[in-house]
């Protein structure tokens, strides 16, 4: 029986367990990446592990999220990360060099290798045939130290692409179609593997748009084969030496098959407030818009920008619209400057931003009250833009640019003939903004620079015999990590200071949560399904840990957040009977007797609602390793205990 590409790469990296779907496997990690908003914690954790030099083939620290430098905190964090990287063998991509996923694809990604990154959009690397997975900072720290990374051996979904995209229909529309069909929960426990004749019609940046936004399916990752298109891309980056051809066997067996005829797709948008709330432009109609933002790790490649420049050429941005453009990397921006496309954008009235995450993480460009904003990004969760009632639509760069000129949502197919946009034969390669680490023998000469905002992470206690705690919060379905631990210009500078950032924990849902949780001392949070979707930020577990949350009981969890809770020593449990969700209210007292014994002996444990006088069952399906971590009070304690 043939193998899928996913199975080939995973089995070549298997160090623990067996390739049995649904069971825990441990894999060897070849590369890691971090970004600044999750990086400070990840490097503090790496330091705490006491490993002098990273043991991966390549580890890169990027600065791209928090670049406003509002106050001393951002720059202190950057200097901390830069110095710790230099000391411990990590490459450092300086602020201004670009968004981690875009730069990693350009300069470091290698087909067939494994990559984990402390950012949920790490699957962008699947665009060149990597198994690239988003993870919590602690998992990345462990991988940097040469430790194994654990995942549930995934099911593999084949997305069979046929046909060819029509002019002005984009790779973004492909992933929006997949989201429409599978939903934001549809990828949980699965890898999405793209195959079929249509694959070769897509360039590497187009493939990367699709694998990037596969994160919104809740998938473990997404992957394309590595073929002649991959070779040409790597060659144009001067990196053809890392190329290997990779694809699934022709008789590979998949768990699910989705067929998409590229020729039949139309321009689409993900409507507020979920990436799977998909409508075609026709269905939405000529809606008046207030803002357009082009960029982010989903859509900021040179090709995307060239299409935008073509649409803006000789035009002026509509007077009622604010258009911002953030090219994904220094490479993209400098090529746009050289070939004149940047001047076209500026002439049209675009506000060109630095190559960073910017508006995607709410660092400026928040829309007006109730404002309608078209964005080429990947997430449109409520409040993420920085404006609580902002209406965010996720679209392709083509649709965004056409609409910015017209002032209303505009089908780019009305623009007439589309010229052929060709990938360059040579990209501008200049890695002068990537700082190499010092050789191991010189590491003692590097001083790690710590600013006063960098506080140690919260400590967690070993699991108590009995958990007896009140419900500090009850929330509904699809709670994102942007609800649990919001980002944005005000809060992001506090990522290195858990006590401070905890003041904003769950503030989107309930501003009184912080004070109540602290005064309760210990508490339990109740959630609906797909709890913790979105970002990989471990702050969404560390802040609740600091505030005394001992367990979270939900209908279901998103993958990365569940792993982060276990790493923090907070017990994630799911209702055995979902109807019990309705029988629990905020402030109810819940008791779980003999927790450790219950978890050890069964996958179902008994919880008592002391206030209402009934028992209910919860599922705790942990691997032995996860149980040990929870007994110890999290991954750091567990690692220390195991020497």
Q: List, by residue number, the catalytic residues.
A: 64-65, 119, 379, 535, 537
For residues 127 and 157, give the distance between their C-alpha atoms in angstroms, rounded to a whole number: 16
Assess 221 for contact with ligand MIC (CB under 6 A): no
Query: Of ligand SF4, ligand MIC, none, which one sits near residue 632, judging by CB under 5 to 8 A according to partner kind?
Result: none
Assess 480 for contact with ligand SF4 (CB under 6 A): no
Angle separating helix axes 171-182 and 204-213, nearest 10 degrees: 30
Assess 361 for contact with ligand MIC (CB under 6 A): yes
Assess 274 for contact with ligand MIC (CB under 6 A): no
Query: Of ligand MIC, ligand SF4, none, which one sits near residue 474, judging by CB under 5 to 8 A according to partner kind?
Result: none
Q: Please select the residue that binds ligand SF4; options are 4, 152, 296, 324, rule is CB under 6 A.
A: 296
Give the C-alpha distances (Å, rounded to integers) separating 574 from 21, 95, 603, 619, 628.
20, 41, 11, 5, 19
Secondary element (H or E) of residue 61? strand 58-62
Q: Which stretch binds ligand SF4 (CB under 6 A): 196-204, 357-365, 445-453, 553-561?
A: 357-365
Residue 496 three-state SS: coil
Give the C-alpha distances (Å, rounded to integers) separating 338 from 233, 304, 312, 430.
20, 16, 17, 14
Q: Which stretch binds ligand SF4 (CB under 6 A): 355-363, 387-395, 451-459, 563-571?
A: 355-363
If you ran DSSP here, which 8-state letter would residue 199 be given?
G
For residues 624 and 476, give the distance between their C-alpha atoms in angstroms, rounded to a whole number: 30
Residues in contact with ligand MIC, shown as a per-residue x/- string from 518 to 547 under the rule CB under 6 A: ----------------xxxx----------
**Nearest CB to ligand SF4, comparing residues 207 and 318:** 207
Assess 138 for contact with ligand MIC (CB under 6 A): no
Q: Please select the residue that binds ligand SF4; options are 360, 372, 402, 595, rule is CB under 6 A.
A: 360
Q: Which stretch binds ligand SF4 (CB under 6 A): 3-11, 302-310, 353-361, 413-421?
A: 353-361
- The residue count for binding ligand MIC (CB under 6 A) is 14
The burial of 342, by beta-carbon neighbours within 10 Å (0-12 exposed, 13-18 middle, 19 or more buried), is given as buried
Is residue 318 a contact partner of residue 312, using CB atoms and an 8 Å limit?
A: no
Q: Which stretch binds ligand MIC (CB under 6 A): 119-127, 173-181, 459-467, 590-598?
A: 119-127
Is residue 396 a contact partner of residue 46, using CB atoms and an 8 Å limit?
A: no
The burial of 586, by beta-carbon neighbours within 10 Å (0-12 exposed, 13-18 middle, 19 or more buried), is given as middle
Q: How many CB atoms lie within 10 A of CB 354?
A: 17
Q: Which stretch binds ligand MIC (CB under 6 A): 114-122, 225-233, 255-263, 624-632?
A: 114-122
The burial of 516, by beta-carbon neighbours within 10 Å (0-12 exposed, 13-18 middle, 19 or more buried), is given as middle
**Nearest CB to ligand MIC, comparing residues 198 and 358:** 358
For residues 484 and 40, give the distance between their C-alpha atoms in angstroms, rounded to a whole number: 19
Q: Which residues pair with 592 in a beta bridge?
A: 467
**Nearest CB to ligand SF4, comparing residues 149 and 381:** 381
Assess 121 for contact with ligand SF4 (CB under 6 A): yes
Measured between its terminal Cα atoms, the distance across the chain in Å is 42
Query: Of ligand SF4, ligand MIC, none, which one sits near residue 301, judging by CB under 5 to 8 A according to partner kind?
Result: none
C-beta of 242: minimal distance to ligand SF4 in Å? 23
- The residue count for binding ligand SF4 (CB under 6 A) is 11
Assess 109 for contact with ligand MIC (CB under 6 A): no
Residues in contact with ligand SF4, shown as a per-residue x/- string from 87 to 106 under the rule CB under 6 A: ------------x-------
Q: Comparing C-alpha atoms, which of 204, 179, 384 is closest to residue 268?
A: 179
For residues 145 and 309, give the distance between their C-alpha atoms in angstroms, rounded to a whole number: 44
Assess 104 for contact with ligand MIC (CB under 6 A): no
The burial of 273, by beta-carbon neighbours within 10 Å (0-12 exposed, 13-18 middle, 19 or more buried), is given as middle
Torsion of CA 314, 413, 195, 112, to 10 degrees: 20
For residues 168 and 119, give the distance between their C-alpha atoms in angstroms, rounded to a whole number: 30
Q: Which stretch binds ligand SF4 (CB under 6 A): 135-143, 356-364, 443-451, 453-461?
A: 356-364
For residues 121 and 378, give the distance between their C-alpha atoms in angstroms, rounded to a whole number: 9
**Nearest CB to ligand SF4, comparing residues 91 and 377:** 377
**Nearest CB to ligand SF4, comparing residues 161 and 350:** 350
For residues 173 and 266, give the distance between their C-alpha atoms in angstroms, rounded to a whole number: 7
Is residue 482 a contact partner of residue 509, using CB atoms and an 8 Å limit?
A: no
Residues in contact with ligand MIC, shown as a per-residue x/- string from 372 to 411 under the rule CB under 6 A: -------x--------------------------------
Query: Of ligand MIC, ligand SF4, none, which one sits near residue 536, judging by CB under 5 to 8 A according to partner kind?
Result: ligand MIC
Assess 173 for contact with ligand SF4 (CB under 6 A): no
Interaction residues for ligand MIC, span 471-490 (CB under 6 A): 487
C-beta of 308: minimal distance to ligand MIC in Å? 21
Assess 119 for contact with ligand SF4 (CB under 6 A): yes
Query: Of ligand SF4, ligand MIC, none, which one sits near residue 605, judging by CB under 5 to 8 A according to partner kind?
Result: none
Assess 174 for contact with ligand MIC (CB under 6 A): no
Assess 357 for contact with ligand SF4 (CB under 6 A): yes
Give the C-alpha distances (Å, rounded to integers) separating 332 from 211, 212, 300, 429, 624.
20, 18, 8, 10, 46
Assess 378 for contact with ligand SF4 (CB under 6 A): yes
Interaction residues for ligand MIC, span 18-77 (CB under 6 A): 37-38, 65
Query: Of ligand SF4, ligand MIC, none, which one sits near residue 537, judging by CB under 5 to 8 A according to partner kind?
Result: ligand MIC
- The DSSP secondary structure of 79-148, one letter per residue, reads HHHHHHHHHHT-EEE-TTSB-HHHHHHHHT--TT-EEEESSTTGGGGGGGT-EEEE--HHHHHHHHTT--
Binding residues for ligand MIC (CB under 6 A): 37-38, 65, 119-121, 134, 361, 379, 487, 534-537
Note the residues at the interface with ligand SF4 (CB under 6 A): 65, 99, 119, 121, 296-297, 357, 360-361, 377-378
């Amino acid at each position: 029986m043939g193998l899928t590409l996913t199975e080939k790469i995973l089995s070549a990296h298997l160090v623990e367990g067996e390739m049995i779907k649904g069971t825990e496997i441990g894999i060897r990690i070849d590369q890691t990446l971090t970004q600044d908003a999750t990086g400070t914690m990840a490097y503090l954790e790496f330091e705490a592990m006491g490993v002098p030099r990273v043991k991966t083939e390549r580890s890169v620290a990027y600065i791209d999220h928090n670049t406003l430098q509002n106050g001393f905190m951002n720059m202190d964090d950057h200097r901390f990360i830069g110095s710790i990287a230099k000391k411990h063998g990590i490459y450092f991509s300086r602020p201004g060099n670009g968004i981690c996923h875009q730069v990693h694809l350009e300069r470091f990604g290698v087909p067939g290798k494994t990559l984990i990154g402390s950012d949920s959009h790490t699957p962008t690397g699947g665009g060149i045939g990597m198994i690239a997975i988003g993870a919590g900072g602690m998992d990345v720290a462990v991988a940097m130290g040469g430790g194994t990374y654990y995942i549930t051996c995934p099911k593999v979904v084949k997305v069979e692409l046929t046909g060819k995209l029509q002019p002005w229909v984009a790779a973004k529309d492909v992933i929006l179609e997949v989201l429409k069909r599978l939903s934001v929960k549809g990828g949980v426990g699965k890898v999405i593997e793209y195959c079929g004749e249509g694959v070769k019609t897509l360039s590497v940046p187009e493939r990367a748009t699709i694998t990037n936004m596969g994160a919104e399916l809740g998938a473990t990752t997404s992957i394309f084969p590595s073929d002649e298109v991959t070779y040409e891309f790597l060659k144009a980056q001067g990196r053809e030496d890392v190329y290997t051809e990779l694809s699934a066997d022709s008789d590979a067996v998949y768990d699910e098959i989705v067929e998409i005829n590229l020729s039949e797709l139309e321009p689409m948008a993900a409507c507020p407030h979920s990436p799977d709330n998909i409508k075609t432009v026709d269905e939405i109609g000529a809606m008046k818009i207030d803002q357009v933002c082009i960029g982010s790790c989903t859509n900021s490649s040179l090709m995307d920008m060239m299409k935008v420049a073509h649409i803006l050429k000789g035009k002026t941005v509509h007077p009622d619209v604010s258009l911002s453009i953030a090219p994904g990397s220094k490479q993209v921006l400098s090529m746009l400057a050289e070939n004149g496309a940047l001047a076209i954008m500026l002439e049209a009235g675009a506000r060109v931003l630095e190559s960073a995450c910017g508006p995607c993480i709410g660092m400026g460009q928040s829309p007006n009250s109730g404002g309608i904003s078209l964005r080429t990004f990947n997430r449109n969760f409520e409040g993420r833009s920085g404006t609580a009632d902002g209406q965010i639509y996720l679209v392709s760069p083509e649709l965004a640019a056409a609409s910015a000129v017209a002032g209303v949502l505009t089908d780019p197919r009305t623009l007439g003939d589309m010229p052929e946009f060709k990938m360059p034969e040579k990209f501008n390669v200049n890695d002068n903004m990537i700082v190499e680490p010092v050789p191991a023998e010189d590491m003692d000469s590097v001083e790690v620079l710590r600013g006063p905002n960098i506080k140690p992470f919260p400590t967690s206690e070993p699991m108590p015999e009995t958990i007896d705690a009140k419900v500090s919060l009850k929330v509904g379905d699809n709670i994102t990590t942007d609800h649990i631990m919001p980002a944005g210009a005000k809060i992001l500078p506090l990522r290195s200071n858990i006590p401070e950032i905890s003041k904003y924990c769950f503030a989107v849902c309930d501003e009184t949560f912080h004070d109540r949780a602290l005064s309760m001392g210990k508490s339990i949070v109740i959630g609906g399904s797909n709890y913790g979707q979105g970002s990989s930020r471990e702050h969404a577990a560390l802040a609740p840990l600091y505030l005394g949350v001992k367990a979270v009981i939900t209908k279901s969890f998103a993958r990365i957040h569940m792993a982060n809770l276990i790493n923090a020593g907070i017990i994630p449990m799911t209702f055995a009977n979902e109807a019990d969700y309705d029988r629990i209210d905020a402030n109810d007292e819940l008791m779980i007797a003999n927790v450790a014994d219950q978890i050890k002996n069964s996958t179902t444990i008994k919880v008592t609602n002391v206030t209402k006088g009934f028992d209910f069952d919860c599922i705790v399906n942990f691997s032995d390793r996860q149980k040990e971590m929870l007994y110890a009070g999290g991954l750091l304690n567990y690692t220390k205990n195991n020497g």
